Amino acid sequence: MRASNSSTPGLHRPSASFSGWSATCYNAHVDNMPLLASCARIEPDIEQLRSLSACVQDWRALISQAERHGVGPLLYSHLKSACIALPPEASVSLAGVYLRHRQANGLRFQVLTEILEAFQASNVRALVVKGGALAQILYPEIALRPMSDLDLLVDADQLTRAAAVLQEMGMSAASVDAGQHGKGLATCGKAVEGIWVGVELHTDLFEAGFPASLTMRSLHDQPIAFHLGTTGVEGRTLGPGDLLWHLCQHLRFHTTVFLPWRLIWMADIIGVAEGRLGAMPWEELRRARPETLAILSLVHCLCPLPRAVLDGAGLESRQPSGIGLDFDGWPRKSLAQQKEKGTAAILRDTLVPPEWWLRLHYGLGTDELALWQRWISHPWTIAKAGAGMVASRTLLRARRQAGARAHLSEGRTR
């Protein structure tokens, strides 16, 4: 262990040098990405954390970026474990992030316990997915996996019954909405101690039109059973292979020209790929779900995987350009927001996004050709977004004009 240069016993102030990251991984808005990426796992490299922490110039910006990526609690926990001394203001702010998520998740799991008990009494079969399961069975404590709501997968035949159970529990808006992206319910929920606990039922974990689907009837693995805290209430979630496939597809699904990807989703993938919830069926994934390994290879570029995972998955890949960079053009940012960049830069960021992001968006591994996606699929995506925006604005303008004419006609008849 490196000798401490701190005057406080047990605290280490990190060295200013670090290695393992290329300058090509950076741009103006990802200066803190190496440190955040190193925290996107359950067991980080402590020495790497100490080295990377020395490079932080703006702790407020780091904490804000960590929250956007959903790794604020992990950042707090890992820096604390590494005995890294933070500036007082940053220490208080980061501890607040951790405590806020601990309180919110505690309330969410109280509601989840009530839901599972009610479902069991009504013979509704459900799987707890995403954060609701991972915070319980993958992470050392529930505060480390932030959640926005509780997600449950139910069979399509039981959707109406499940919705009725939620309504009986006092959940607002607990009615079946077949038009909610083809997934089941619009988010319903209730306030508990001042915190809104949202619940979303899914009959399919992906929206209609996305090239992946996962329902209660298409599972490959036996679900994993777990108990919620000390209550003894049993929950179930996806088996290891289904879970890794779903997490990889979920990361791809949310990597779009509209919304940013998040590091917490990569932390989920890494934890499951490491075999923390059971042995991974690598041969089956290679044969039946090869896109899982493609996305895993891209995660590895940003958040290096253990040797055992690389060997099991058979990953030996090249490094694409632009690792860790997000899409930075239109329509993610309006033209007005990008005005200072100039026309050439706006066109470049919109039509020629970073290679790593492009591969993640289209589910292409690091060794697959991306010419079609680069020069045909992506420009077509931008064109469709533009056409959709024009159509939306035209329809809105037509409605406003119709409303104005109706109002004028009504005034004349009075």
Kindly state whether residues 213 and 304 are assigned to the same domain. Answer: no
CATH number at residue 125: 3.30.460.40
Q: Mean pLDDT score of the chain, rounded to an integer?
A: 88
| pLDDT at 413 (0 to 100) | 62
Kindly state whether residues 296 and 406 are assigned to the same domain. Answer: yes
| pLDDT at 180 (0 to 100) | 47
Q: Would the pLDDT of 329 be above 70? A: yes
* pLDDT tens track for 157-186: 999 999 999 999 999 865 555 444 455 556
Domain boundary among 23, 54, 86: 86
In sequence order, which ranges of 71-145 are alpha helices (DSSP H)? 72-81, 88-121, 131-137
Q: Would the pLDDT of 23 be above 70? A: no
Task: Place 187 in a pLDDT band, splitting at 50, 70 and 90.
Answer: confident
Q: What would the mean pLDDT of 361-387 be, rounded to a whole number? A: 95
| pLDDT at 381 (0 to 100) | 95
257 falls within a domain: no
Q: What would the mean pLDDT of 75-95 be, rounded to a whole number? A: 97
Domain boundary among 183, 207, 238: 238
Report the interhelical angle of 240-253 vs 355-362 (nearest 10°). Answer: 120
262 falls within a domain: no
258 falls within a domain: no
Q: What would the mean pLDDT of 290-306 be, rounded to a whole number? A: 96
Kindly list the strands in the beta sheet with 195-202, ordered across the sheet, starting from the edge strand earlier in the chain.
Answer: 126-129, 150-154, 195-202, 188-192
Kindly state whether residues 168 and 204 are assigned to the same domain. Answer: yes
260 falls within a domain: no
Domain limits for position 371 = 280-414
| pLDDT at 232 (0 to 100) | 86
Residue 407 burial (C-beta neighbours within 10 Å; 0-12, 13-18, 19+): exposed
CA 283 vs CA 145, 270, 289, 292: distances in Å: 29, 18, 10, 12
Kindly state whether residues 195 and 294 are assigned to the same domain. Answer: no
**Dist. CA 367–CA 370, nearest whole Å:** 9
Q: What is the CA radius of gyration of the chain?
A: 24
Q: Would the pLDDT of 10 be above 50? A: no
Q: Rounded to two decimals, what is the model's pTM?
A: 0.88
* pLDDT tens track for 99-134: 999 999 999 999 999 999 999 999 999 999 999 999
Kindly state whether residues 287 and 400 are assigned to the same domain. Answer: yes
Kindly state whether residues 138 and 191 are assigned to the same domain. Answer: yes
Q: Would the pLDDT of 3 be above 80? A: no
Kindly state whether residues 222 and 339 are assigned to the same domain. Answer: no
243 falls within a domain: no
Q: How many domains does the chain have?
A: 3
Domain boundary among 210, 238, 266: 238
